Amino acid sequence: MECAARGFGTRCVGPPTRRCGQCGAVAYCSISHQTWHWSYHKEECERLEEQMRRVDQLIDFPFTFTDEATIQISQNQENRCSFLSKRELHNLGMWMYECKCGSSAYHSFGNESWHLPSSSCPCRGPLSPVTNQLCSWMEYYEWRKIPLDSPVALLLHWPLTIYHAIQTIGMENLTLQITNELRIHYLGPQKELGQLGVFTELQALFPGLRISVKLVGPDVPQHMDGENISLCRYSPCMEKECECKYPTETPNSGHESAVSLQLYRGLYHHRYSDITKDSPPPHIVIAPNAGVAAYPSWLPTIELIKEIKVQAVFSDYCEEACHLAACCIKTITRQPLSLPIVLNPFRQPMAVEESSLFIPCYSNCFIFAM
């Protein structure tokens, strides 16, 4: 937690122990900083107060580890490293990117094991196809026959957020009747680059479709720029004799779909012409944890999205970040959002450590669309 006035004027004199008495969402290192910052904070104070009233909704998860992963982490009684260590997942495979002491360098695709028993992870296709729209983690876990003590939602929030975004926009609005392919442009990937195996779950969520995902962002390593990855098999479990280790029919042969990923290094507005040179435009743009208000580079990207007339869904860590992003987008496009800010039921069920606000933050917490 940082002093809300840090960087606005004089140096901070200590830790931020003085919380705003009205909203309770920000804190200050001194009375002078709080007084000096009021001319700025008064514009957001009432809005943050409203958001603080809805905090309990953010921790509404069905998991047996919910309290440990939300309240205890927010109160610094627990941290991500200890959470993963208790489950013998710390610094292993896709899990190593879930805490600060994990690797920050993304290697080539290939180390995508769940490191969990087969009963606790989706290492094979579903027993039955998804028939009704999934609207919660509980419904997803029941469909995939996964117990509620399994932490796989910490990684699966990436493909489930894509699924929820598309279901919210409406498949019928993406003109998928023309082909059997769903084309997604996925902007600003970061830790997902070390967790690419989880995107195989898209073939279970969208049966009968070929799914093409173009991941574009400055964090794509140079050695991965232009890399094509075909996800024909689910990420394996830890059991040596599980059927997930043996060849099965390819996704295209049944009701499942193949998932192909292609990586591009750079900003979307710089790489768009390269991406669409040999492939059609996307059906949808997805920008997870976008931080639109924090990065000026979003301005030309938003202008491009408006120009190509494709629906774009954004997510962010908290409602306030989404509000600031929505203001930026409305200023650029001069149009209202096509989807107002709503809570994402498939947000990651673990609080972000060291948030800048007292409002708990979660990866992919809220979504909205232009």
Would you state the pLDDT for residue 251?
43
Examine the domain organization and report whether 232 and 130 are in the same domain: yes
Examine the domain organization and report whether 128 and 76 are in the same domain: yes
Residue range 43-97, pLDDT digits in tens: 999 999 999 999 999 999 999 999 999 999 988 899 999 999 999 999 998 999 9
Examine the domain organization and report whether 200 and 125 are in the same domain: yes
- The pTM for the full model equals 0.93
Token code pair at residue 291: 């931080």
Q: Which domain holds residue 252?
A: 62-369
* CA–CA separation, 161 and 288 (whole Å): 8
Task: Round the CA-based radius of gyration of the chain to a whole number and report it.
Answer: 21
Token code pair at residue 22: 């009205």
Q: How confident is the model at residue 141 (pLDDT cuts 50, 70, 90)?
A: very high
Q: How confident is the model at residue 107 (pLDDT cuts 50, 70, 90)?
A: low
Examine the domain organization and report whether 241 and 297 are in the same domain: yes
Residue pair 24/54 in contact by the 8 Å Cβ criterion? no
Examine the domain organization and report whether 46 and 77 are in the same domain: no
Residue pair 235/200 in contact by the 8 Å Cβ criterion? yes
Question: Is pLDDT of 256 > 50?
Answer: no
From 59, 79, 103, give the residue that closes a domain: 59
Examine the domain organization and report whether 69 and 48 are in the same domain: no
Examine the domain organization and report whether 39 and 180 are in the same domain: no
From 26, 43, 59, give the residue that closes a domain: 59
Would you state the pLDDT for residue 2?
84
> In Å, what is the CA distance from 55 to each residue of 59, 125, 302, 324, 330?
7, 35, 30, 18, 26
- Number of domains, the chain: 2
Residue range 207-243, pLDDT digits in tens: 989 999 999 999 999 999 999 999 988 999 999 999 9
Examine the domain organization and report whether 102 and 225 are in the same domain: yes
Lowest-confidence region among 74-88, 240-254, 275-289: 240-254
Examine the domain organization and report whether 186 and 254 are in the same domain: yes
Closest CA to 193 of 151, 224, 163: 224
* CA–CA separation, 102 and 90 (whole Å): 8
Examine the domain organization and report whether 26 and 116 are in the same domain: no
User: What residues have CB less than 8 Å from 113, skipping those under 6 apart?
Assistant: 93, 94, 197, 235, 236, 237, 238
Q: Give the relative orientation of helices 319-333 and 45-53 as an angle to the nearest 10 degrees.
A: 130
Q: How confident is the model at residue 295 (pLDDT cuts 50, 70, 90)?
A: very high
Would you state the pLDDT for residue 101?
83
Give the other-Cβ count within 10 Å of 341's Cβ.
18
From 40, 59, 78, give the residue that closes a domain: 59
> In Å, what is the CA distance from 280 to each residue of 64, 118, 178, 183, 275?
44, 38, 12, 8, 9
**Where on the phi/psi map is residue 47: left (φ > 0), alpha (ψ -120 to 50), or beta?**
alpha
Examine the domain organization and report whether 126 and 255 are in the same domain: yes
The residues pairing with 231 across neighbouring beta strands, listed in sequence order, are 259
Question: Is pLDDT of 247 > 80?
Answer: no
Q: What percent of the chain has pLDDT over 70?
A: 92
Question: Is pLDDT of 252 > 60?
Answer: no
Examine the domain organization and report whether 16 and 68 are in the same domain: no
